[in-house]
Amino acid sequence: MEQLNSNNLKDEEILKLSQEDPAYFSFLVDKYKEAFLRAARGITHNLEEAEDIVQETFVKIYRYAANFQKRPGIEFKSWAYRILINTSITHYQKLKKERGNTEYLDPVLYNESPAFAVNKNVALEKDMKEGVAKAIGQMPEHLGRVLKLYFFDDMSYEEIAKKENISMPALKMRIFRAKRVFKKIVGEGI
Amino acid sequence: MNNNIKNKVAWKIYFVWLFKRIIPLFILEIIFLVLVFYFLGKLVFVQSVFENAFLSSTQNPIVVASYMFKAFLGTSAVKKVVILIILGIGTLFMRDIGRAMASYISTSRIAKQK
């Protein structure tokens, strides 16, 4: 096991090997823990909760490895991120029940990667909305507007493209830029 | 902090593997061994075989093994089959114990990594 050079193996192969010897799974943990932690922390804004989510995600990945192996053509990375996001949502819903008011960030800010195409059921809390509105107010008007339409008015890409009279690729680019600007403003502290 | 995650995940994965892959095998092997031993007990008076082995050996393992082998050769075909099944399941049982221990050691090493 120690002589194994994990660089020569695909994630899928490591996952398969780990079903016979669980020690192999540590290669996947090493490879993805930082990224998972960053993603989970971005969603929860809480390190302890993010750590719990990451642990749960790895266990689910291992436990449901057979499901992944039955789906050819699906990349391990996107499958793993999907589990991470689903686990985050489940965690969020559980916390919301327990605490009543949990502050999680809207998926619109975390869908740069296709793996982050989180479903819209993740609710925004009131104070979060206020913070977002504040940040949007500081953005260039055309960027803030598209983000607002998507973020607050819950409009689809198609509807926004029609309203703004721009093509879909142009809208996607504009939203992408808007999110970058938004993140920068949020990073500076709203 | 992140190694803490790795340690916890390593142990969780080990126990998932143990309960999913090894424990069910252990249970099956033990059930089979008990059944086959029960069946063998009806065919052979096992206690007397071991007593004779002990008496003829003066506790030398080579003599015991030789006596057992001769007893095996001298027995009927059905008994031979039953004994071979026991040895087979016993080997699988030992192999699984070995796997569980080897994996435990690997997991401990991973968990200790800084």
Q: What is the per-residue pLDDT across A118-145, written as a single tens digit (0 to 9) for each?
A: 443 344 344 455 566 667 777 888 888 8
For B113, nearest residue in chain A (alpha carbons):
A26
Residue B40: count of CB within 10 angstroms of its CB: 16
Decide: A179 and A168 in contact? Cβ < 8 Å: no
Contact across the interface for B10 and A30, Cβ inside 8 Å = no
What Cα–Cα distance (Å) separates residue A110 from each residue in A114, B11, B71, B100? 9, 30, 73, 41
Cα(B86)–Cα(B64) distance, rounded to whole angstroms? 18
**pLDDT of A75 over the 80 cut:** yes
What is the ipTM score, two decimals? 0.71
Decide: A24 and B109 in contact? Cβ < 8 Å: no
Q: What is the per-residue pLDDT across A142-177, written as a single tens digit (0 to 9) for each?
A: 888 887 777 666 667 788 888 888 888 888 888 888
Contact across the interface for A22 and B107, Cβ inside 8 Å = yes
Give the distance from residue A48's alpha carbon to the nearest chain B alpha carbon, in angstroms. 10
Q: Is B105 on the interface with A (CB under 8 A)?
A: no
Give the predicted TM-score (pTM) of the model. 0.61
HEC letters along chain B: CHHHHHHHHHHHHHHHHHHHHHHHHHHHHHHHHHHHHHHHHHHCCHHHHHHHHHHHHCCCHHHHHHHHHHHHHCCCHHHHHHHHHHHHHHHHHHHHHHHHHHHHHHHHHHHHCC
Decide: B20 and A39 in contact? Cβ < 8 Å: no
* Containing structural domain, residue B98: 2-112
% of chain A surpassing 70 pLDDT: 69
How many A-B residue pairs are in contact by the CB < 8 A criterion? 60
Best mutation target, B5, B11, B103, to test chain A (most A CBs within 10 A): B5
Nearest to B109 by CA among A3, A26, A18: A26
% of chain B surpassing 90 pLDDT: 39
Per-residue pLDDT averaged across A103-113, rounded?
A: 49
Sign of the four-CA dihedral A168, A171, A176, A182: negative
Q: Is A22 on the interface with B (CB under 8 A)?
A: yes
Q: What stretch(es) of chain A map to CATH 1.10.1740.10?
A: 6-116
User: Which of B2, B5, B16 lies closest to A62 in CB terms?
Assistant: B16
**What's the total number of domains in chain B?**
1
Residue B89: count of CB within 10 angstroms of its CB: 19
- Give the pLDDT of residue A128: 54
Contact across the interface for B103 and A23, Cβ inside 8 Å = yes
DSSP one-letter string for A77-111: HHHHHHHHHHHHHHHHHHHHHHHS------GGGG-
Q: Which of residues 46-65 of A touch B (CB under 8 A)?
A: 47, 51, 54-55, 58-59, 62-63
**pLDDT of B95 over the 90 cut:** yes
Sign of the four-CA dihedral B109, B24, A17, B97: positive
User: Which of B5, B21, B110 lies closest to A55 in CB terms?
Assistant: B5
pLDDT band at A113; cut points 50, 70, 90:
very low
Per-residue pLDDT averaged across B67-85, rounded?
A: 84
Name the fold adopted by A126-188: Arc Repressor Mutant, subunit A (1.10.10)
Name the fold adopted by A6-116: Rna Polymerase Sigma Factor; Chain: A (1.10.1740)
pLDDT band at A189; cut points 50, 70, 90:
very low
Q: Is B110 on the interface with A (CB under 8 A)?
A: yes
Best mutation target, B6, B15, B17, to test chain A (most A CBs within 10 A): B17
Helix (H) or strand (E) holding A34: helix A25-44
- Give the pLDDT of residue A43: 78
For Cα atoms A154, A79, B107, give the angle at the middle one, nearest 5 degrees: 135
Q: What is the per-residue pLDDT across A16-50, written as a single tens digit (0 to 9) for each?
A: 899 988 999 999 999 999 999 988 888 777 888 89
